[in-house]
Amino acid sequence: MVEGKVVLVTGAGGGIGRDIALAMARHGARVVVNDIGAAVDGAGHSAGPAQQVVDEIHAIGGEAVPNTDSVADAASAARMVQCAVDNFGRIDAVVNNAGILRDRFFHKMSVDEWDSVIKVHLYGTYFVSRAAATFFKEQNAGAMVHMTSTSGLIGNFGQANYSAAKLGIAALSKSIALDMLKFNVRSNCIAPFAWSRMIGAIPTDTDEQKARVAKIQQMTPSKIAPLAVYLASDAAHEVNGQIFSVRNNEISLISQPRPVRSVHRSEGWTPQTIAEHAMPAMRASFYPLDRSADVFSWDPI
């Protein structure tokens, strides 16, 4: 479905990114495998993971080159996009998958823990997408696939930095879809459920946490790859500005915020009438303090 296309996959040295890069190659794409080779928290740097995936792609007869630039820097992101153009003559799609975790309860979170996660996820998605947008606009075609998360779309404990970044990515994707529609550029999000090195950082101190992790371990990164390949392909030319989740063999279309209830008073509102009228009228439609696991409560299919 992506025969002859050139695809940049960030964070492709392992986990979900690796499986997406391999799937792109199997379906005929030429792939830039980007990974800085860092630990889950972003520390360290190694060319090994990216090169290993490139070697795997070569072993199945595909074309790929490694790249170890960081998504968290604008000039570095521009270099990885240029890497695609220099090696393969063009760029047709980007998959913004790179990420780190620095989990901490909000009241204990440091500025560095906040900033580093926002920088990689939200800034990184912007930097790579913005660098690619110039080429997409010139060729009047292109596809962007961004990894969001139900931690941001729904909620989770101890991930204020990650959740804020991931919900921001969903909004960024919608803005890209609107702004670049006239240039035939698409932008969509995937909220993946899969066992990976990042998910492996989830604590397993309680029976509830252990049961949750056991469920996630059933969901392999390879389950995410088919949707990413599809969204990068011309077959998805009418799919734009959407958010999907992939949970083992389930694909879900995720809702986007819309009004669910409204009230009015012809004379306007005061704090007192809001307390007496508006809030009681809308309370039945309030959302509970759900976490992702509360909403996706059934065993993965």
The SS3 assignment for 150 reads: helix
Q: How far is residue 255 from each of residues 141, 150, 296, measured CA to CA in Å?
A: 26, 11, 14
Q: Does the CA dihedral 217-150-99-247 come out positive or negative?
A: positive
CB atoms within 10 A of CB 273: 14
Of the candidates 288, 268, 258, the residue with the CA atom closest to the CA atom of residue 277: 268
Strand-pair category, 250-253 with 243-247: antiparallel
Residue 56 CA to residue 54 CA, distance in Å, equals: 5
Q: Is 79 left (phi over 0), alpha (psi -120 to 50) or beta?
A: alpha
Active-site hit among 126, 162, 230, 287? 162
Token digits of residue 36: 């800085």
Token digits of residue 31: 């792939």
Q: Is residue 104 a contact partner of residue 164, using CB atoms and an 8 Å limit?
A: no
162 noted as active-site residue: yes
Strand-pair category, 243-247 with 93-96: unpaired
- Supply the residues annotated as catalytic: 162
